[in-house]
Structure 1
């Protein structure tokens, strides 16, 4: 309450400053004291669970947990430039690492070998893992180019720096472009990005399906918004709800009737204790105890149960955690399967990730209290722990557990392929769950087929109206769609100026301000239906791609211009004001800063000059294409502005370097070596203080640079 801290800690002014020579226990003699990565309870607990086949393998698992997590990333799959980005990584950055490895081996025979590893179970060589941690890449000058590349390409949305095991759930979910997908606990959004890529597998069409990304934390929802903006999806909605009580989503049919929308795919990446992430979150080591998982079992079960209720019959739900504790994993799955009887089954999805090493799910496990005392049955639990440990957390009886086929679950251990720990299970819904109102469900499905409105009385009886909770978080601007019958002159101007295809219908565009229309956002018709049919039911944080933006009066007859933030979704559907520059033209435009004078049209190629001279002042689309064997090998689509005598590309700095890399242009203007900058500062300081030491670049880096220059 308030903002007054009444019991303010007193400052100890008499405390002596710490002796700099006393850095015992600190890594590399600097920074915070290293966390001791040891916990006997952790080892004893997982020895009792029999996760591994032998004591030697258990110790190997523990040693893997004690090492830093290797860096991994994946290339955004649905972009037309994805293959080109992959080729650049393999031919340029990995080649430099190979040369650097040779130089390091020449200097010291025991130097660690730096090798990128392709994740073979991920499609099309689009995912990679390095035997370097993020900290190593950031701190070592030898990898500064790789570090700059990872940062800039992540900002532009062309790669995602994602943990290896985190890529698995969406692969086994098998999402198609027509699927309606719900990500129940989505933030920070790396798995959500994979789902978006899956429904946009065909770039030439607007998908029939959509992705609804939900998170209960209002502030974390904006991480999801950031992911969506990078991927430019028109079929994406961010919502802010408690996943255990996620509301039903209604759709309005053509005849005005209403139906409940069910999802074809549900991703339930449940909140967990996270002991599988101990390689990157070392603070879990001293805090870990077996009882922590018991506190999370209930909410994990309720999230999974609600996910099954929202799932359509025939659909799939993936339940995953970054915890190895069976109480959070098999116990939740066993409880769900037991209560669902034969309406839900556990599916073997190991074929979706060929080559992935994992352990099958457990059929027997034990629970532990804070003192690490083990209990195999609920009858053994003291009454004092009955509120912590419940019967549903223990394994089902032997006769029943065999019918559940818990061995179809997958548990990834860190030593198997040098990753974090993870658990994945896939459930398929064969019929409505027993606790669902069967009569209401069948009536609703039948009415949808016949185009009739469901019985409102049944809905009221089964779901009594609750008192509406107070809105928490930032109040979002409204979503106001254009109407087909309205005579908005702005959209007609845009349609005629760019000759917009009929695929982008007027009703797909919305604005966020009722009084003035500075920007037009684009969504699919399904997204519009959901937003307009659930205004009082669904708390929407963000949706839509920025397609057109208001431009200042610069001599253009059209008040709106193309927005680079939505170029991938809009440029394929316009027919006029398209310019096809050469590689040299594109490089000239990308190297020009916003503060510099834009390139003159007279300095461009003859092809570009002729196309530009035929156009009046205003926004244009720049399309650069490379072909191999008659097929498009690279397609770059940018937004620009044609002035009277100049041409400017409306591309942010972080995207400029990306496009320059794609076309093989000079990126030195944007590549900054922070270590060189630091040396420059040290040299300036040395002039006034000769004792200041200058950190010289490692010889292996100098040799590598010279070899690369000779090769090129």
Structure 2
């Protein structure tokens, strides 16, 4: 859904393959030939992207981002397709079991095939990623889809990614959340969060202690309304109640207000400051050329200068929202120092010692990287290089600004410690290019300390938007600090196009249940719910219709209820309960599978503990009309259900997996009068069957075998047709031969008669 609230209609014709191209073509190795490299494709104007750009090479050679003898290796690496990489979701209790499945089944198949002389690439563990939960496969995604040896791994990754147990993510993209070192008590902000792979890592870090709910939270923001819904889809898989998605321009992110526990005045709020902030800003993305080769043709040296301003403003706003003692990561997938070190150097100078770069290389053991640059050059669109502001011609001075150049050599430059930034270059470990810097806030920044009068009349004038989002002269009085008066005012905003001040689709309200809501006793008595009912919300304008109830932590609730008109919340809460009318249950709500991992720790009733055989029977049965009979279950499970009435149940399987690790599988089910079923989507059924060591052949399809069967069938039909044609020709010859004999007999008879 776009920012104007109108639906975009998808043009189906775009997905159709042009008839002129004919059938797909494969080379002698069975590799699909790119249409741009075929004769038919050439006639249609399909041309392969030329992965060369003279300006690009000259610009980066002048930057000395790597030793001269390695430069050609870096360019060659950028010209190759990006290898595939993935990670296992870290906060799940069965992450270790899933890792055992991957190693013991999929990777083992590769090593066995390799031992027999087969040609296959075995995934390598990323040693700098914690607990061996991330891997890189040094073949491209295209190769994985095209080669039969990888088909099982491909099917596995697709299914597990859909259910949220693995994430296919570029290797270098995993780094920024790791260096933030998020703990469960931290208040975390992801300023430019979509599409959400890094956001997922932050959620995992918040939930690293599964025995308790985090006291911290994560606010994931993105300026693009449509991408926020993509982010929602990614986050829902992780089932976190300590998470919310907002839709704002990160450079003018509004203050978020929460109750002030230290104030004697009831109902007084304060500006919430964050302990950790991820600032992965929009960039030119030339570090992603391996997966986005069209950048080769579009790249020019001035692109970085065009984005420097917005990158700096986003970082500055992030620092304003950061708690003293907190840390913020600034990262880009660009190699251009104008977007990287130039932004950091400019910020360090403006903050005048209140921000400091932190060493991060030691926190990533085994990661090959280069240090941040202390000297760089700029260029115009044509590729003309400038070493200083004095060299910039007047017609380029609107684009290239003085603050983009490196500080002059000396004590000032040394104090910036730009070498503490890290650059990941493509040739170092076969990845994309990336830049990461970690900054710590030592004290309030100079403009945060300024008295209100100075700010209103001078250097850093700003205004706080009113309830409608329009700039006003009001100023909050919260967030003071002993080291100076911290006003944390918001940058001025443009006048909104609508009354609410929000762009895009207007979300349904978030309505939390009251403490005296009758749903509370109903859930408590039936499920033994231990959570306060006030932590559950509904999303319907009609408060009488509570079809779904969502669970959030108290910290998230405080934000939602105190920022209704200031913050546009796109999504929050994990689905906990779903209404189930006329099902014969004493309770009108059943447990939702979408939130089972978070809810089962907070209920004491309606829990069943099936055997492995019971779980396998229920997971393999997907016939809604004919669920498994209770009589087919083990005696142990039947005994547990003897005195249990009809309704929703939690099915919990605890055992050791076939590799000896502790395993706990939790799913939702329904106990009827004579049957019991699992309420689990198909892709999750496959996941749970894998964990318990069940049979998953019913769900796996080998497209290569299917293709071979089709070809064999087609060959058999063709052979049969040829046999039939041969038989028909033989019959014709026999008939001709028989016809000749008859004619001869007639001629003989005629002679005799004569």
Match of 1:91 in 2: 104
Pair 606,34 (structure 1): closer, same or farther in 2 beyond 3 Å: same
**Contact conserved, 2:423 with 2:434, CA < 8 A, in 1?**
yes
- The SS at the match of 1:398 is coil
The equivalent position to 2:59 in structure 1, one of 20, 35, 45, is: 45
Say whether residues 1:155 and 2:162 are aligned partners.
Answer: yes
Pair 447,327 (structure 1): closer, same or farther in 2 beyond 3 Å: closer
Matched residues, number: 661
Match of 2:322 in 1: 311
Structure 2, unaligned stretches of length 5 or more?
7-17, 26-32, 453-474, 722-754
The equivalent position to 1:417 in structure 2, one of 412, 419, 429, is: 429
Say whether residues 1:479 and 2:492 are aligned partners.
Answer: no
How many Å apart are 1:350 and its aligned residue?
1.1
- The SS at the match of 1:609 is helix
The equivalent position to 2:149 in structure 1, one of 122, 142, 145, is: 142
Q: Structure 1, residues 577-621: CA drift from partner, whole Å, max 9, x if none?
A: 110000000000000014451111111011100111220000000
Pair 463,401 (structure 1): closer, same or farther in 2 beyond 3 Å: closer
- The SS at the match of 1:147 is helix
The separation in 1 between residues aligned to 2:219 and 2:189, in whole angstroms, is 5
The equivalent position to 2:654 in structure 1, one of 584, 602, 625, is: 625
Pair 678,45 (structure 1): closer, same or farther in 2 beyond 3 Å: same
Pair 203,540 (structure 1): closer, same or farther in 2 beyond 3 Å: same
- The SS at the match of 1:318 is strand
Say whether residues 1:282 and 2:293 are aligned partners.
Answer: yes
How many Å apart are 1:402 and its aligned residue?
1.6
Match of 1:70 in 2: 83
Pair 17,84 (structure 1): closer, same or farther in 2 beyond 3 Å: closer
How many Å apart are 1:373 and its aligned residue?
1.1
The separation in 1 between residues aligned to 2:492 and 2:382, in whole angstroms, is 44
- The SS at the match of 2:446 is coil
Report which stretch shifted further, 32-41 or 602-611.
32-41
The separation in 2 between residues aligned to 1:652 and 1:512, in whole angstroms, is 23
Pair 16,546 (structure 1): closer, same or farther in 2 beyond 3 Å: closer
Match of 2:357 in 1: 346
Say whether residues 1:181 and 2:188 are aligned partners.
Answer: yes
**Contact conserved, 2:252 with 2:492, CA < 8 A, in 1?**
no
The equivalent position to 1:372 in structure 2, one of 380, 383, 386, is: 383
The separation in 2 between residues aligned to 1:259 and 1:439, in whole angstroms, is 18
The equivalent position to 2:310 in structure 1, one of 291, 294, 299, is: 299
The separation in 2 between residues aligned to 1:447 and 1:425, in whole angstroms, is 26
- The SS at the match of 1:379 is helix
**Contact conserved, 1:73 with 1:160, CA < 8 A, in 2?**
yes
Aligned Cα root-mean-square deviation (Å): 2.8
- The SS at the match of 2:505 is coil
The separation in 2 between residues aligned to 1:682 and 1:435, in whole angstroms, is 72
Say whether residues 1:381 and 2:408 are aligned partners.
Answer: no
The separation in 2 between residues aligned to 1:29 and 1:362, in whole angstroms, is 47
Match of 1:532 in 2: 561
The equivalent position to 2:533 in structure 1, one of 482, 506, 519, is: 506
The separation in 1 between residues aligned to 2:282 and 2:618, in whole angstroms, is 46
The separation in 1 between residues aligned to 2:508 and 2:111, in whole angstroms, is 51
**Contact conserved, 2:21 with 2:40, CA < 8 A, in 1?**
no
Match of 2:340 in 1: 329
The separation in 1 between residues aligned to 2:480 and 2:272, in whole angstroms, is 13
Pair 18,320 (structure 1): closer, same or farther in 2 beyond 3 Å: closer
**Contact conserved, 1:642 with 1:648, CA < 8 A, in 2?**
yes
Say whether residues 1:203 and 2:210 are aligned partners.
Answer: yes
The separation in 2 between residues aligned to 1:467 and 1:163, in whole angstroms, is 39
**Contact conserved, 1:266 with 1:316, CA < 8 A, in 2?**
yes
Say whether residues 1:444 and 2:456 are aligned partners.
Answer: no
TM-score (structure 2 length as normaliser): 0.83
The equivalent position to 1:667 in structure 2, one of 689, 696, 700, is: 696
How many Å apart are 1:102 and its aligned residue?
3.4
Pair 18,246 (structure 1): closer, same or farther in 2 beyond 3 Å: closer
Q: How does 1:94-173 map to 2 (within 5 A)?
A: 94-103=107-116, 105=117, 111=119, 113-173=120-180
The separation in 1 between residues aligned to 2:414 and 2:20, in whole angstroms, is 64
Q: How does 1:200-239 map to 2 (within 5 A)?
A: 200-239=207-246
How many Å apart are 1:36 and its aligned residue?
1.4
Pair 43,517 (structure 1): closer, same or farther in 2 beyond 3 Å: same
The equivalent position to 2:612 in structure 1, one of 583, 590, 593, is: 583
Q: Structure 1, residues 147-183: CA drift from partner, whole Å, max 9, x if none?
A: 0000000001011101000000011111010000000
How many Å apart are 1:678 and its aligned residue?
3.3
The separation in 1 between residues aligned to 2:36 and 2:671, in whole angstroms, is 58
Match of 1:408 in 2: 420
TM-score (structure 1 length as normaliser): 0.88
The separation in 2 between residues aligned to 1:526 and 1:163, in whole angstroms, is 32
Pair 626,274 (structure 1): closer, same or farther in 2 beyond 3 Å: same
Q: Structure 1, residues 348-393: CA drift from partner, whole Å, max 9, x if none?
A: 1111111111100111100111221100011101111111101111
How many Å apart are 1:421 and its aligned residue?
0.4
The separation in 1 between residues aligned to 2:161 and 2:437, in whole angstroms, is 29
Q: Structure 1, residues 433-453: CA drift from partner, whole Å, max 9, x if none?
A: 11124457996345999xxxx
**Contact conserved, 1:432 with 1:438, CA < 8 A, in 2?**
no
Q: Structure 1, residues 42-94: CA drift from partner, whole Å, max 9, x if none?
A: 1111110011112x200011111111111111110000010001111111100
How many Å apart are 1:679 and its aligned residue?
3.7
- The SS at the match of 2:448 is coil
The separation in 2 between residues aligned to 1:608 and 1:18, in whole angstroms, is 59
**Contact conserved, 1:235 with 1:544, CA < 8 A, in 2?**
yes
- The SS at the match of 1:213 is strand
The separation in 1 between residues aligned to 2:717 and 2:100, in whole angstroms, is 48
Match of 1:698 in 2: none
The separation in 1 between residues aligned to 2:380 and 2:97, in whole angstroms, is 53
Match of 1:703 in 2: none
- The SS at the match of 2:585 is coil
**Contact conserved, 2:180 with 2:328, CA < 8 A, in 1?**
yes
The separation in 1 between residues aligned to 2:612 and 2:364, in whole angstroms, is 39
- The SS at the match of 2:258 is strand
**Contact conserved, 1:116 with 1:130, CA < 8 A, in 2?**
yes
Match of 2:587 in 1: 558
The separation in 2 between residues aligned to 1:437 and 1:477, in whole angstroms, is 39
Say whether residues 1:615 and 2:649 are aligned partners.
Answer: no
Pair 265,16 (structure 1): closer, same or farther in 2 beyond 3 Å: closer
Pair 439,67 (structure 1): closer, same or farther in 2 beyond 3 Å: same
